[in-house]
């Protein structure tokens, strides 16, 4: 067991982002291949629930499969139900009675140590995601790097919030403002950033002094299970993190509705997010608080290009944003909105670039795109391919690939109408809709015409238009002359407007406030 250190704000170095791995270096290629072989040797194991530090098996199990080879079981898991959800919340509540008083410096120390362990096993966690969710080497490595960043950043934020807060001072009183934790929360991460978002949601809550029940996405439960093992290795007290894999319809609802649940932190679909928000708002007998809900629910993100832009840079950004990790990012560019005078040129460049993308099993680093995550996603995206043929002109792809896994070719539809389903609904796959607009003004209007508001990008050399887009392009993360994916912790606080969620700004200085409540203390001087 490793003992967590107790840092203080004045001795911690400033936060810097974790560099990505350079896979042009052969030693890194060898290390990644070794990690893939290690994970392959571990495939098929069964993992238990962890409740209050106790490992529990259940009568039923479920499997996580390799989407590149659906007949290959990556791991099996004990399948929790509503009863186990109640036990996990109770265990978290019991541990909260002591964990809430652990100094911020000690809580931060656990995160710093976890970050160091994750650095040491970076290639292993990359390999887990390559097998379990079909990430390419580069995408998996960026995911792990972001997870390390969340641990490092939130540890420093906990130290900052624990410092004496600036208040207006008066001579007759001693006044302080303390940020105290909320209680026990349900953490429900997605599968698409199986390491980064899962780690971010978990670490932010516990470093603020809360305890949690982690209900991982069933398609990415192995990454979460191995991370919980990593956290346990630091000596984190039992019950701070409880691991509860199981179906969202039963386990998720039970966690959300439990009267002892104080908050729910969720990243996922609009439909599930709204369901959580509705159920959390309903008072339960024995409940002593209004539950706090932190939601990030996806997007329908656009890259807008005007006639003054660097068209090659715009095309490169569109392709990277649309097809990285098979378009399975809430920040992915699913709409290219291009001014008419350069539309044909930009779309031709986009199609030419997308045509070169390699698709296949991502255990081979030659493949830029892997499979979509599971059969449900595969069928949903196929449905949108059918819709696209009636709503636009098929320019590239449009078919599933003839191989065992859930592979879909990068697909581009041209001349899609702004109000078409393909231009309004979140596909969450490698499908790009290209929209032709008369001018910048119309393009800006179209960019704002969905119910979402997560990310967006504007390519232009016209400073007046850029300034207008900065005011009027209504998204939580707006990028100028760069792609609309790839937010960095501490650099681009991430979260969106409207149906994209509660604009929670993960990786920003406001984020830990969501897991605390402010207590003002006034002591009259005698």
Which residues are known catalytic residues?
Answer: 296, 330
- How far is it, in rounded angstroms, from Cα 35 to Cα 16? 26
- How deeply is 419 buried, as exposed, middle or buried, from its count of CB atoms within 10 A (0-12, 13-18, 19+)? exposed
Query: HSE-up of 23 (CA within 13 Å, CB side)?
Result: 16
At 357 the three-state DSSP class reads: coil
- Token pair belonging to 84: 């186990």
Sorted by sequence, the CB contacts under 8 Å of residue 204 that are 6+ apart come out as 150, 154, 265, 506, 511, 512, 514, 515
At 381 the three-state DSSP class reads: helix
The vertex-340 CA angle with 335 and 341, nearest 5°, equals 130
Distances 485 to 53, 331, 477 between C-alpha atoms, Å: 37, 5, 9
At 367 the three-state DSSP class reads: coil
Judge whether 461 and 368 are in contact, CB under 8 Å.
no
Number of residues written out for the chain: 526
Sorted by sequence, the CB contacts under 8 Å of residue 439 that are 6+ apart come out as 306, 339, 340
Query: β-pairing, 393-396 with 411-414?
Result: antiparallel
Query: β-pairing, 49-51 with 54-56?
Result: antiparallel
Sorted by sequence, the CB contacts under 8 Å of residue 460 that are 6+ apart come out as 305, 306, 308, 309, 440, 466, 469, 480, 481
- How far is it, in rounded angstroms, from Cα 286 to Cα 261? 11
Distances 328 to 195, 310, 342, 426, 478 between C-alpha atoms, Å: 15, 26, 28, 10, 19
Nearest Cα to Cα of residue 245 among 416, 48, 383: 48
């Amino acid at each position: 067991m490793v003992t967590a250190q107790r840092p203080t704000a004045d001795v911690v170095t400033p936060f810097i982002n974790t560099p990505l791995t350079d896979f042009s270096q052969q030693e890194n290629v060898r290390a990644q291949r070794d990690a893939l072989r290690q994970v392959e040797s571990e495939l098929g194991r069964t993992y238990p629930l962890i409740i209050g530090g106790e490992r529990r098996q259940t009568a039923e199990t479920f499997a996580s499969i390799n989407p590149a080879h659906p007949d290959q079981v990556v791991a099996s898991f004990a399948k929790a139900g509503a009863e186990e959800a109640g036990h996990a919340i109770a265990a978290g509540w019991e541990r909260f009675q002591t964990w809430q008083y652990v100094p911020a410096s000690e809580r931060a120390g656990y995160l710093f140590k976890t970050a160091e362990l994750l650095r040491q096993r970076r290639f292993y966690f990359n390999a887990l995601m390559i097998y379990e969710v079909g990430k390419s080497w580069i995408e998996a490595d960026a995911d792990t790097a972001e997870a390390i960043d969340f641990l490092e950043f939130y540890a420093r934020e906990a130290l900052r919030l624990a410092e004496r807060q600036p208040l207006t001072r008066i001579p007759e009183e001693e006044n302080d403002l303390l940020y105290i934790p909320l209680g026990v929360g349900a953490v429900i991460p997605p599968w698409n950033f199986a390491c980064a978002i899962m780690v971010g949601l978990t670490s932010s809550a516990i470093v603020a002094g809360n305890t949690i029940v982690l209900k991982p996405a069933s398609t990415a439960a192995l990454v979460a299970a191995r991370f919980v093992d990593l956290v346990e290795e630091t000596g984190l007290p039992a019950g701070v993190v409880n691991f509860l894999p199981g179906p969202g319809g039963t386990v998720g609802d039970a966690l959300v509705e439990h009267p002892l649940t104080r908050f729910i932190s969720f990243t996922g679909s609009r439909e599930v997010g709204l369901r959580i928000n509705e159920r959390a708002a309903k008072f339960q007998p024995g409940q002593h608080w209004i539950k706090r809900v932190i939601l990030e629910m996806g997007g329908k993100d656009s890259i807008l290009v005007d006639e003054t832009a660097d068209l090659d840079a715009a095309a490169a950004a569109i392709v990277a944003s649309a097809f990285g990790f098979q378009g399975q990012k809430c920040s992915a560019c699913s709409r290219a909105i291009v001014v008419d005078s350069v539309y044909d040129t930009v779309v031709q460049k986009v199609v030419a670039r997308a045509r070169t993308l390699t698709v296949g099993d991502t255990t081979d680093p030659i493949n830029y795109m892997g499979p979509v995550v599971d059969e449900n996603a595969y069928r949903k995206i196929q449905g949108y391919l059918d819709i696209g043929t009636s709503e636009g002109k098929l320019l590239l792809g449009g078919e599933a690939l003839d191989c065992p896994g859930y592979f879909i070719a990068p697909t581009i539809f041209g001349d899609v109408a702004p109000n078409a389903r393909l231009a309004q609904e979140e596909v969450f796959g490698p499908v790009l809709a290209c929209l032709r607009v008369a001018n910048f003004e119309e393009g800006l209007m179209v960019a704002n015409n969905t119910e979402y508001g997560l990310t967006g990008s504007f390519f232009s050399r016209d400073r007046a238009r850029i300034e207008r887009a900065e005011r009027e392009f209504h998204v939580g993360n707006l990028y100028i002359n760069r792609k609309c994916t790839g937010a960095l912790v501490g650099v681009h606080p991430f979260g969106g407007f409207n149906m994209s969620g509660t604009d929670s700004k993960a990786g920003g200085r406001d984020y830990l406030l969501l897991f605390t409540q402010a207590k003002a203390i006034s002591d009259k001087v005698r």
